[in-house]
């Protein structure tokens, strides 16, 4: 690789863009000196984060665990449901509308119910994350499996392929790009789910820190939590993209 | 009680029979689509017989039901009426599935599989272990002009190469009857000529029975032992022309007077059918 192309790559990378935004933020605060209530300096947020570092780290890990567990459950359930709906018309007709209805009820309305059902446990937060994740995964799995090329299906049938062989060798790989779309939607939603879940009673977690900051009018702390959420979202999304590149590296064709 | 052969069989049958065995026979096959008032007859009263080892080409105007006919022979569509016989045995609906090597118009390669793995798809479906199948396919790569491309992916190949991979997949699915549906339709004229002669080469070596659909008359004559012409919809076999050009056939054969006279006759027939199709479409619109 030539030196010039390396420079361009660095200049065009998202890390560089992030650095630029951080720099602009810091400079803007120095130049315009707004009240910290409206926009604290990035360095002030960093200092505040450092002062509560052990708590922040514990909260971060806890929320990450809830999110990942909820996402994994939701993804597995969504893929399974999408598959069942694809191959069973009556299941799609009878159960799928219930899925849609379930999503029209705001998750916040469910919060109290979930605490009653699952207590003040890890499982309760996992369930709220799960609840937001499974739907987009179901929809996209269903769409991906249904959009399998009928001519390729005919080709496999002419080879004498059974339903299972067809599913494993053709339907699943051709649905993967669409399933990944569902997973990408799901990962962001499951983070929301676990944070909202923490509002209904918990002692550790970014959602808890967020509530404390709001109640205590700690504006800088609020920013700390937001940045932490952003970092977690980026990590999760980045991890998923990495998996996607391993799984769905081929270009989709019309 | 023992009978001498002469007593068992009529005298005529005892004489050595030169006619080769029948591979495929279609008897009075019909296919209709849709319900009564808006029904279209796609294929009507098709009778055809293909001998073992024969290369038969089928030409006809577009939309004449060629592909419907092919789908029926491959077992993908049940005929409404009539019988399909493979090696003299009548086939029930769906029984043809897995019995013929079928190659549709589009190459239909799987983008997530390499050239080699695309080629062995049918073998995998049959349950041949992947390793064995790969070894078998690797030996065939040079013959199909794909040497050194085993680990390439379809999007890295030219149209001609993709078609050869699809053809290799079809050949590796070792069935006596090959159905090729316009395999070279999407290729440019030069590549197409090269592929035709290459196919003849392969055919001569592997000795399979081939039924080949095309809308290109030159292609039909260059390749076939016989050319069948289909009528406009409802499609049926209009005529049958034996191509008595010597084999192996050279690309320059298209300039010979015998070729020309065959082509002229076939062109007239197809022209007539094309006009009918055109008139039908005019009337419908």
Beta pairing partners, B57:
B212, B227
pLDDT at A254: 39
pLDDT at A106: 85
| DSSP letter assigned to residue B282 | H
Q: Indicate whether A225 belongs to any domain.
A: yes
Closest by Cα among B22, B24, B23, B31 to B236: B31
Give the CATH number for residue A65: 1.10.3720.10
| Domain range enclosing A206 | 41-247
Residue A82, preceding bond cis, omega within 30 degrees? no
> Which of the four pLDDT bands, split at 50, 70 and 90, describes residue B3?
very low
User: Which tops the pLDDT comparison, B10 or B251?
Assistant: B251
- Give percent above pLDDT 70 in chain B: 93
Distance CA A23, CA A41 (A): 10
User: Which tops the pLDDT comparison, B72 or A252?
Assistant: B72
Strands B226-230 and B237-242: antiparallel
Residues of A in contact with B122 (CB under 8 A): 159
Distance CA A241, CA B6 (A): 79
pLDDT at B13: 44
pLDDT at A20: 92
> Which of the four pLDDT bands, split at 50, 70 and 90, describes residue B108?
very high
Q: Would the CB atoms of A251 and B111 count as touching at under 8 Å?
A: yes
Interface test with B, best of A159, A166, A169 (most B CBs within 10 A): A159
Q: Indicate whether A55 belongs to any domain.
A: yes
**Across chain B, where does the E strand assignment appear?**
22-33, 40-51, 55-59, 81-86, 89-90, 101-103, 177-181, 209-214, 226-230, 237-242
pLDDT at A108: 82
User: Which tops the pLDDT comparison, B99 or A65?
Assistant: A65
Distance CA B37, CA B23 (A): 37
Report which listed range, A54-68, A105-119, B140-154, is most confident.
A54-68
Q: Indicate whether A87 belongs to any domain.
A: yes
CA distances from B129 to A165, B125, B126, B191, B214 (A): 14, 10, 9, 34, 35
pLDDT at B7: 44
Q: Indicate whether A35 belongs to any domain.
A: no
Q: Is the pLDDT assigned to residue B12 strictly greater than 70?
A: no
Distance CA A116, CA A109 (A): 13
The structure's pTM equals: 0.81
**CB count in 10 Å sphere of residue B139:** 9
Distance CA A113, CA A105 (A): 12
User: Which tops the pLDDT comparison, B82 or A132?
Assistant: A132
Q: Is the pLDDT assigned to residue B2 strictly greater than 60?
A: no
Q: Is the dihedral of CA B97, B76, A176, A141 positive or negative?
A: negative
Q: Indicate whether A238 belongs to any domain.
A: yes
Q: Would the CB atoms of A165 and B125 count as touching at under 8 Å?
A: yes
Q: Would the CB atoms of A160 and B110 count as touching at under 8 Å?
A: no
Burial of A211 (0-12, 13-18, 19+ CB in 10 A): middle
Q: Indicate whether A178 belongs to any domain.
A: yes
A173 contacts chain B (CB < 8 A): yes
Residues of A in contact with B153 (CB under 8 A): 250
pLDDT at A2: 53
Q: Indicate whether A217 belongs to any domain.
A: yes
Q: Indicate whether A13 belongs to any domain.
A: no
Contact B212, B200 (CB under 8 A): no
A159 contacts chain B (CB < 8 A): yes
pLDDT at A110: 82
Residues of B in contact with A154 (CB under 8 A): 71, 74, 76, 104
Q: Is the pLDDT assigned to residue A33 strictly greater than 50?
A: yes
Contact B208, B54 (CB under 8 A): no
* Minimum CA–CA partner of B155 in chain A: A251
Distance CA B116, CA B152 (A): 8
Q: Would the CB atoms of B71 and A154 count as touching at under 8 Å?
A: yes
Residue found by looking up tokens 């054969």 in the block: B253
Query: Sheet containing B101-103: which strands, arranged edge to edge?
Result: B101-103, B177-181, B209-214, B55-59, B226-230, B237-242
Distance from CA of B103 to the nearest CA of A (A): 8
Distance CA A186, CA A135 (A): 8
- Tally the domains of chain A: 1
A238 contacts chain B (CB < 8 A): no
User: Which tops the pLDDT comparison, B39 or B117?
Assistant: B117
Q: Would the CB atoms of B125 and A161 count as touching at under 8 Å?
A: yes
Q: Would the CB atoms of A155 and B102 count as touching at under 8 Å?
A: yes
Q: Would the CB atoms of B126 and A157 count as touching at under 8 Å?
A: no
Strands B55-59 and B101-103: unpaired
Distance from CA of A241 to the nearest CA of B (A): 18
Which secondary-structure segment (H or E) carries B78?
none
B173 closest CB neighbour out of A151, A152, A159: A159
Return the number of CB contacts < 8 Å for A and B.
Answer: 53
pLDDT at A4: 64
CA distances from A12 to A9, A17, B77 (A): 5, 8, 54
Say if the ipTM goes beyond 0.90.
no
pLDDT digit string, tens, across residues A34-53? 888 888 988 899 999 999 99
Contact A86, A147 (CB under 8 A): no
Domains in chain B, please, with CATH? 21-100+176-275 (3.40.50.300), 107-174 (no CATH)
pLDDT at A3: 59
Averaged pLDDT, A159-176: 92
pLDDT at A251: 60
Q: Would the CB atoms of B98 and A252 count as touching at under 8 Å?
A: no
């Amino acid at each position: 690789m030539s030196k010039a192309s390396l420079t361009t790559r660095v200049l065009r990378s998202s890390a560089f863009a992030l650095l630029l935004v951080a720099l602009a933020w810091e400079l803007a605060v120095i130049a315009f000196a707004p009240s910290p209530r409206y926009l604290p300096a990035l360095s002030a947020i960093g200092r505040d984060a450092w002062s509560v570092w052990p708590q922040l780290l514990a909260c971060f890990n806890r929320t990450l665990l809830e999110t990942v567990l909820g996402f994994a459950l939701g993804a597995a359930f969504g893929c399974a449901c999408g598959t069942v709906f694809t191959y069973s018309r009556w299941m799609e007709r009878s159960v799928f509308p219930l899925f849609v209805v379930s999503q029209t009820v705001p998750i916040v309305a469910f919060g109290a119910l979930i605490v009653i059902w699952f207590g003040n446990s890890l499982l309760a937060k996992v369930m709220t994350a799960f609840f937001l994740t499974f739907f987009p995964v179901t929809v996209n799995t269903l769409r991906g499996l249904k959009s399998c090329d009928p001519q390729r299906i005919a080709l496999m049938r002419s080879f004498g392929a059974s339903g299972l062989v067809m599913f494993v060798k053709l339907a699943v790989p051709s649905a993967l790009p669409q399933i990944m779309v569902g997973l990408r939607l799901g990962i962001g939603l499951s983070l929301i789910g676990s944070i909202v879940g923490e509002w209904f009673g918990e002692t550790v977690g970014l959602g808890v820190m967020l509530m404390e900051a709001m109640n205590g009018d700690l504006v800088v702390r609020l920013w700390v939590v937001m940045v932490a959420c952003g970092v977690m979202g980026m990590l999760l999304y980045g991890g998923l993209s990495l998996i996607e590149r391993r799984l769905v590296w081929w270009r989709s064709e019309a | 009680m023992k009978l001498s052969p002469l007593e068992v069989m009529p005298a005529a049958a005892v004489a050595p029979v030169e006619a080769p065995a029948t591979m495929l026979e279609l008897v009075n096959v019909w296919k209709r689509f849709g319900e009564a008032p808006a029904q279209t007859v796609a294929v009507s009263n098709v009778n055809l017989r293909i001998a073992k080892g024969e290369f038969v080409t089928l030409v006809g105007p577009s939309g004449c039901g060629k592909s419907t006919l092919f789908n029926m022979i491959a077992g993908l569509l049940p005929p409404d009426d009539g019988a399909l016989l493979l090696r003299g045995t009548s086939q029930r609906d769906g029984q043809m599935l897995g019995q013929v090597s079928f190659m549709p118009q589009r190459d239909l390669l799987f983008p997530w599989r390499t050239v080699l793995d695309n080629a062995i798809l049918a073998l995998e479906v049959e349950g041949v272990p992947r390793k064995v199948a790969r070894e078998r396919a690797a030996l065939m790569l040079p013959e199909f002009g794909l040497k050194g491309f085993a680990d390439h992916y379809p999007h890295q190949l030219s149209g001609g190469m993709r078609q050869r991979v699809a053809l290799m997949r079809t050949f590796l699915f070792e069935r006596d009857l090959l159905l090729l549906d316009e395999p070279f339709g999407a290729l440019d004229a030069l590549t197409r000529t090269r592929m035709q002669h290459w196919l003849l080469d392969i055919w001569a070596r592997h000795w399979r029975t081939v039924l080949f659909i095309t809308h290109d008359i030159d292609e039909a004559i260059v390749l076939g032992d016989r050319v069948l012409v289909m009528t406009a919809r409802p499609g049926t076999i209009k005529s049958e022309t034996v191509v008595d050009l010597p084999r192996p056939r050279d690309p320059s054969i298209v300039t010979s007077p015998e070729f020309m006279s065959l082509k002229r006759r076939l062109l007239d027939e197809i022209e007539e059918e094309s006009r009918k199709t055109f008139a039908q479409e005019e009337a419908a619109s």
